[in-house]
Structure 1
Amino acid sequence: MTRPTILKALYLGVVSGILLGLLLKLIESITTVRVYTLLLNIDFIPIIGGIAWGETVEFIFHVLVSIVIAFIFVYLVIRLRIEKSFTKLLFLSFILCLPTFFLYFLLSSLAIKEVPAWNDWLAFTYWSVAHLFYVWVLPVLYKKM
């Protein structure tokens, strides 16, 4: 990867991760459904889960995950040579982010702090809509650069 490609992936990961986090925070503040809390929750992870991290640090963890997804996205876009097709970029983004929809069930089941139940379908809908927004944002930002 070249330096501009690395910077592009960093930009994509940071901006898309921040946008997803802000959207879920907005949803939680309007509805009181704790989807933002679920997004940032790491209390079930051994060793680091026992530390009382502040919201800012937990948000940084979330953005780091987004950066990893963005690096994989950019690498595959270049490898597959699909940079010109928005439809293919969107499909790739969807495939890469597909596990995030199902993570809702795992994360809500493992959480120690109060988060939506694994079978809270309204919370799952909010989670899914926000992640579909993320799926859309990755290729949009990529094309704008």
Structure 2
Amino acid sequence: MFVRSFQLSDYVAVTRVLQSVLSEDCYRETIRAIARQLSWDSELVLVAENEEGIVGVIIGTIDNNTGYYYRIAVHTDHQRKGIGKAMIQALKQRFGQRKVKKIYITIDEHNEPILPVYESAGYVQADFNKPLKQLSIVNG
């Protein structure tokens, strides 16, 4: 398994991964987010690929020297194999190359259950804003 930048030819496989794990509302939001991020900086949309093809995707963005993990998804058949953690680390390296000073993880009602994946990658809870349903986590 290796992690690399998203390519246009990955679109169908990425949508399959997202559909395997996300609710319909979350899927629509995530597809829009991918399109936005690809238009801003395609190097912050990464995919995990193994011999079977694309098995995961992670979307990040940078705003004012702050990196944000927006969404991560690993196909249900490939979860709990370290793929999510590998994508988190790969995106963290991209953030480091861009001289990002802080990293936050945006958690909403759609992806709050994956918080343990980020914790296993070394992140700790720093701030929880209930009205926005957003959890900010900084690298520990």
Rg larger in structure: 1
TM-score normalised by length of structure 2: 0.32
TM-score normalised by length of structure 1: 0.31
Higher RCO, Cα 8 Å, sep 6+? 1
Structure showing the higher helix proportion among its residues = 1
